[in-house]
Amino acid sequence: MRFTTVSLTLLSLLHLSAGQPHQHRAHRHPIPKRDKITVTDTSRTTTTEFPEVVVYVDQHNRPLRTATETVVYVPASVETPKVPVPMTTTTVFAPAPSSKDVPAHHSGSSAALSSNSSTFKHVSTFEPIPTPLPSKSSRTSSHPSTSTSTSSIPSPPPSPPTSGGRALHGVTYSPYKGAGGCKSADDVARDFALVANDYGVIRLYGVDCDQVATAYAAAKKHGNKLFLGIFDIHSVEQAVSTMAAGVNNDWSIVDTVSVGNELVNNGGATVSQSLAALSQARTALRAAGYQGPVVIVDTFVAMQAHPELCDQSDYCAANIHPFFDANTAAPQAGPFVTSIVEKIRSKLADKSKRIVVTETGWPWKGKANGAAVPGMDQQSIALSSIKSEYTNNPTDVILFTAFNDMWKKPAASTFMAEQFWGMGGRYSPVDE
C-alpha cells in the first residue's frame, strides 16, 4: 500500500481544485484538472507519475484530509516530468474486512436482517430503457416451455482478455442515448475507442438496438471479448438467433452469455422460471455453435438465498454493490465485495466453483447512503479498493459502468445516483 503525505503549507503552492460538474447535465462544467505534486525520489532512475491517495497534514503532522492526486516521482537529476500519466493505474489504501456481518435481506421478503441498527437492501442499477424496448408487461406475458433440467458439463472458462500481456477487468455497457433511442454503430464505435484498451470483457444486457452487431464490430477492432445477455427470458430462442447473427456466428469473441439480470431479486421471475430459461438458453446456444459459459445473473442477496442459481450455472455470476450498504464507506468497497463472495461460496454445492462479480462500482454523484458517499474521489478510492482485491484475478470482476447512463431516471430509492456511475464520471460522446 502507498500513501503520500503533503504538508498544509504546500496547498497554497499547488492551487488544487476539487470542482464538480454542475448539477444540471445540459449546463454542466468540466471538472477542472488538478495540478500535479512533484516528489524527488533518489531511488528512481526515470520519471514516473500516477494517481495516489494523498494525506494532507498541518504543521504538526496531524491529518486534515485525503484526496486522490497525480503524484510525479522524479530522480534527483530530473527537473520536470516527461512520462504521461497511465490512466488505468491507481493506488489506494484498502483496509481489512470488518468483523461485522454484512446486513442482507432475502429476495421477496419484507423482513430485512439488520446489523448495527441498519439494513441493507440491494437496488438494481440496470433497468431497460422504456423505449424502444418492449414494456415490462410484455416481458412477463409467457413462460419458458422447456424442461427445468439443467444438468450439463460446465463449460471451461474462456481465455482472459489481455492488454500488453496483462489480464484486465471487465466493464458494463449500455447502447442507449440519454435523449432516448438507440446509439448508432458509429456512436458505439466512438464509445469503444474510449474504453476498449482499459477493459477486457464488455458486458451487454440484451439484444435490442442491434447492440450485439454494433458491439461485435467494435470489439473485433479493439480485441475485446463480449459478455452477452438475454434480458427477456420469455424470448430465449429469438435472443439466441439475434446473437448468432450479430456475431456472424463467430462465437470466439463471446466470453459468457447471461440469462436475465436480477430477476429473482426483483420479482421478475421465480427461481424455477430462471432455471428453466437457463436450460433453454444453454440448449439453444449449443445448437447455434456456442460452447462457452451460460449463467444466471442475480444479486448476491438472491444467490445466497437460492444458491441453486449458481450451482446450475456454468459459473456463479453475482452483482455486488457496496454503495447500497449504508455501513460501507468507499475505502471498504473491495473488502465488502470479497467478503460477500465468500458468503456466497459457503452456500455452493461446489465450494471451488468460479464466482464472477458481474456488476460492482461506485457513483460519482448523488446523495449519501449513510457511510456510502458519492463523489469523484470516493469513486476512485472505491474502484481502487475493489481492484486491489482482484489483483490476481482481474477477470473475475466487471465494473459498473463504462459511461454515465443518462437514459435512466434519477430516483430517491437509488440516492439520485442512478445516472452517475460512469468510470471517472465519463459521459458517452453522444450525451455530451
> Annotated catalytic, 359?
yes
Residue labelled with grid coordinates 488538478: 34
The catalytic position among 359, 389, 418, 432 is: 359
Looking at the DSSP bridge assignments, the partners of residue 311 are: none
Cα angle at 417 between 265 and 113, to 5 degrees? 40
Q: For the residues of 173-189, what is the DSSP string, one character each?
A: ---B-TTSSBPPHHHHH
Distance between CA atoms of residues 384 and 398, nearest Å: 13
Name the residue among 227, 206, 213 with its Cα closest to residue 184. 213
Name the residue among 287, 232, 290, 222 with its Cα closest to residue 256. 290
Contact criterion met (CB below 8 Å) for 93 and 334:
no
Cα-based torsion angle of the residue sequence 24, 29, 30, 33 in order, rounded to the nearest 10 degrees: -130
Looking at the DSSP bridge assignments, the partners of residue 319 are: 299, 359
> For residue 368, with 0-12 CB atoms within 10 Å meaning exposed, 13-18 middle and 19 or more buried, which class applies?
middle
3-state helix, strand, coil in the chain (%, to 5): 30, 20, 50
* Grid cell listed for 219: 470489439
Contact criterion met (CB below 8 Å) for 289 and 271:
no
| Alpha helix segments (H runs only) across 324-432 | 333-345, 376-389
Phi, psi of 406 (to 5 degrees): -75, -10
Cα angle at 352 between 349 and 354, to 5 degrees? 100
Contact criterion met (CB below 8 Å) for 8 and 43:
no
Residues assigned a catalytic role = 359
